[in-house]
Amino acid sequence: MEYYEFIIIVPDASRDALMYKLKEMGSPGLYEDGAVLRAYFENMNNIDLLCGELNAFRDVLRSSGLDPSFTFTHSVLPAQDWNEAWKKSIAPINAGNAITIIPPWETAEAGRIIIMIDSGMAFGTGHHETTKTCLAHIEKISKGHAGKSLLDIGTGTGILAIGASKMGFTHIVAVDTDPLSVDAARKNAGLNGSENIEVKEGSISEAQGTFDVIIANLISGTLIEIAPEVASHLNPDGIVVLSGMLAGEEDMVADAYMKAGLDLKEKYLDGNWVTLVVSPALNF
């Protein structure tokens, strides 16, 4: 199969948001090459639609206060070159204190918590700030929650669920509305020998029961939409980690969770991305 290669020159401030958008548009391969971003799409995609969607994203950037002045060109690339470029794009990545994410053909140094990810078409290679921040949180929380349960909403490649399994969570449910992600997450869970992960197609309503930790790396609109259900699936002493919102959107998200009975405990900023930790308000 041939691929379109987009070569994009993007201002630093809007790079993360654009990378997220390219993934959302279905790019199975993305990599940063100095100041240039390369994104690949299967050539069965309609090139005019892809270009139109990219141009329309300028309005989104503008309304988030980000610089919309990226430029791009595209060409058709033979599959082999694309594979090489893609493999380069997923070299080992470290997250948290001890986590290393590797593709199946790499090895990691001894003593690391290894998450093996074959991303295929799904989101969650570990390159994205929000994924790394979520993994670092799971690592931190796992110290007091080993043996407990975790729900991963929007699992993508399964990266966070697998991380949780490697760090001692025993009962893990992962959901994703995208069937390609569900396949990828099941495959990756198998690659890692993480047999305690149950992957389901759909959103939070697919999850049964309550959990000690709920983690969701999603866009702000979805985080807001699912707030009441997140609260109803959380144990009374549970913790929720919310990521994927852009700076400036966090108050709206925190507000929705407060209305659902969860108080804001921690807030982190990584470039343009925000991660919130919320947990049940104390009842006096």
Q: Which residues bind ligand SAH (CB under 6 A)?
A: 122-124, 128, 131, 134, 153-156, 159-160, 175-178, 181, 203, 217-218, 222
Report in angstroms how near the CB of residue 73 gets to ligand SAH at its nearest.
Answer: 27
* Least spacing, CB of residue 64 vs ligand SAH, in Å: 18
Q: How far is the CB of 254 from ligand SAH (least distance, A)?
A: 19
What tokens does 251 get? 């108050």
* Pairing of the two strands 171-176 and 149-153: parallel
Which amino acid is present at 37? Answer: L
Contact 33, 22 (CB under 8 A): no
CB of 80 to ligand SAH, least distance (A): 27
> How far apart, in whole angstroms, are the C-alpha atoms of residue 86 and residue 264?
38
User: How far is Cα 151 from Cα 167, in angstroms, rounded to an integer?
Assistant: 14
What's the CA gap between 250 and 6, in Å, rounded? 31
Q: Which amino acid is at 39?
A: A
- For the beta sheet containing 29-33, the strands, ordered from the edge strand earlier in sequence to the opposite edge, are 29-33, 36-42, 3-9, 71-77
69 vs 232, which CB is nearer to ligand SAH?
232
Q: Return the number of the residue (77 or 180) whose C-beta is nearest ligand SAH.
A: 180
Residue number, 7 or 210, with CB nearest to ligand SAH? 210
Q: How far is the CB of 259 from ligand SAH (least distance, A)?
A: 19
Q: Which is nearer to ligand SAH, 11 or 228 (CB)?
A: 228
Contacts of 170 (CB under 8 A, 6+ apart): 147, 148, 149, 196
Q: How far apart are CA 281 and CA 284, in angstroms?
A: 9
Tell the residue number behind the tokens 């078409």, with chain if given: 121
Q: State the Cα–Cα distance between residues 96 and 276, nearest whole angstrom.
A: 16
CB of 51 or CB of 180, closer to ligand SAH: 180
Order of all β-strands in the sheet with 99-102: 93-95, 99-102, 113-116
CA distance 109 to 102: 11
Residue nearest ligand SAH (C-beta atom):
154
How far, in whole angstroms, is CA 85 from its chain's centroid? 21
CB of 37 to ligand SAH, least distance (A): 18
38 or 128: CB nearest ligand SAH: 128
Residue with tokens 């290393």: 100
Q: How far is the CB of 162 from ligand SAH (least distance, A)?
A: 10
Closest to ligand SAH by CB, 28 or 154:
154
Choice between 190 and 202, CB closer to ligand SAH: 202
How near is the Cβ of 230 to ligand SAH at its closest, in Å?
Answer: 11
